[in-house]
Amino acid sequence: MKKIPVIATVNTKEAEAEYLSERIRLGGYAAPIIDVSTLDSGRLDLPYPYAAVLAAAGVTAEELRALRRDEMVRAMGRGAGRILRDLRAKGELAGAIAIGGNQGTAIAAIAMRDLPLGTPRLIVSTVASGNIRPYIEDTDILMMFSVADFINNTNIVSRLIMKNAVAAVIGMAAGEALLEPEPATGLRVALTAFGNTAGAIETIRRELEAGGCEVVGFHASGAGGAAMESLIEQGLFSGVVDLTTHELLAEVCGGGADIYTPLRPRLIAAGARGIPQVVAPGALEYFCFGAESAIPAAYRGRKTHHHNPYNTNVRASLAEVTTAAEVMAERLNAARGPVSLLLPQRGFSANGREGGLLYEPETDRRLREILRKNMDQKVRIMEIDANINDETFAKAAAAEMLGYITGGKKWLISQKP
């Protein structure tokens, strides 16, 4: 029988864990409880008691107690994750479910994050109505708000929520049998996007699909680019059209204030894996902050586009785009595979074109100049007299990628001006 383990801190949420386990068993799956309490709950009769999680984490109870609290949480998450991965390796894992407050959610998320894309994973949490990005990072873990707190009982509110959670995870697990298997091979291209580079996306997608590629888009939202980097590492893609590299500016110059600061360094995985990259400085000329009131003092007084009530775009300075360009060159130069760098001469975003609120041609010219100056000759550099959203530019980007992955194109050596 396939298993949907229940992850919970049994010392504080025993009643809820037992309720979830019972409901899952009624749905036709085994539901072993994984006790991730940071203090021994005393439940020795569980399939995966406290001691088993410690053993899987490689620590003793004494060592755990000596750790700082955040390290205790990481250790229990690591142990529970090892149990989940072992079940999956044996072909026994149908999915996983967890309940928790702040600590339990953190432990469960750490345990679940290393499971592959598409694995049914659901956390019912008291913190799910807030910022869940630190917990799920760039994974497809599903979070459900518990509404009521978990206080080691079941009640009219918690039972309704947990019934729905069980139905959801069982539905995902059962639905796997109805899905057509995904092809193991094929030409797949990752494509980064933004609202301000959306004008190019449809053309690039259409051109690549006409060339026999499956295209997967990633919004350059901090988590989107990080998710793409992770899936590149896993070997999912034949190439990447990194049209929208805004996250790099957020990473190296945003100081964490840019809402699209990536969860991991960008422009790394494709180069390390050696797959072809077609890169552009899309939306690299501005920061994305929250509401206008959230703009840090150091960035006020600059050219600003009010994208929506919760997203304000602020033009980057010459010093900031210089730093971003130097880091981009360093990372692309380190690539083991072919790289084409496409530089639009008429702006890097919709609002960066002539007449746009973020139009600043001299700074853009300087960014292009720095990229040319710092890039190795092995990187093919193309200056295109167009805005990044123009069809001319989009078709050039698609043609470059198709040349690499379907046309047998050699790794061309650019001649710098």
pLDDT at position 46 over 70:
yes
pLDDT reported for residue 407: 72
Report the alpha-carbon distance of residue 85 to residue 22 in Å, rounded: 23
* Nearest by Cα to 388 from 237, 278, 265: 278
pLDDT at position 178 over 80:
no
Neighbours of 54 (CB within 10 A): 20
- SS3 string, 265-301, reads CCCCHHHHHCCCEEECCCCCCEEEECCHHHCCHHHCC
Residue 412 confidence class, pLDDT cut points 50, 70, 90: very low
Domain range annotation of the chain? 6-178, 188-405
Q: What is the pTM of this model?
A: 0.85
- SS3 string, 39-70, reads CCCCCCCCCECHHHHHHHHCCCHHHHHHCCHH
* Nearest by Cα to 351 from 364, 366, 337: 364
What are the C-alpha distances in Å from 136 to residues 44, 107, 113, 131?
Answer: 30, 11, 7, 10
Neighbours of 66 (CB within 10 A): 11
May I ask the CATH class of domain 6-178?
alpha beta
Report the alpha-carbon distance of residue 252 to residue 246 in Å, rounded: 10
Structure tokens at 62: 């004494």
Report the alpha-carbon distance of residue 78 to residue 296 in Å, rounded: 37
What are the C-alpha distances in Å from 417 to residues 7, 133, 372, 385?
Answer: 60, 44, 8, 16
Residue 411 confidence class, pLDDT cut points 50, 70, 90: very low
Question: Backbone phi, then psi, for 359, in 5-degree steps?
Answer: -65, 125
Considering the domain 188-405 in this protein, what is its CATH number?
A: 3.40.50.12030
Alpha helices in 211-357 (DSSP H): 223-233, 246-253, 269-273, 318-333
Question: Any bridge partners for residue 312, and if so which?
Answer: 289, 306
* Nearest by Cα to 120 from 179, 169, 174: 169
pLDDT in tens, 239-290: 999 999 999 999 999 888 999 999 999 999 999 999 999 999 999 999 999 9
Residue 175 confidence class, pLDDT cut points 50, 70, 90: confident
Report the alpha-carbon distance of residue 267 to residue 327 in Å, rounded: 9
* Nearest by Cα to 272 from 215, 212, 350, 337: 337
Can 6-178 and 188-405 be said to share one CATH topology?
Answer: yes
pLDDT reported for residue 77: 98
Residue 362 confidence class, pLDDT cut points 50, 70, 90: very high
pLDDT reported for residue 181: 62
pLDDT in tens, 22-42: 999 999 999 999 999 999 999
pLDDT reported for residue 416: 33
pLDDT in tens, 115-132: 999 999 999 999 999 899
pLDDT reported for residue 180: 61
pLDDT reported for residue 185: 65
pLDDT in tens, 219-250: 999 999 999 999 999 999 999 999 999 999 99
H or E element at residue 190: strand 188-193
pLDDT reported for residue 113: 96
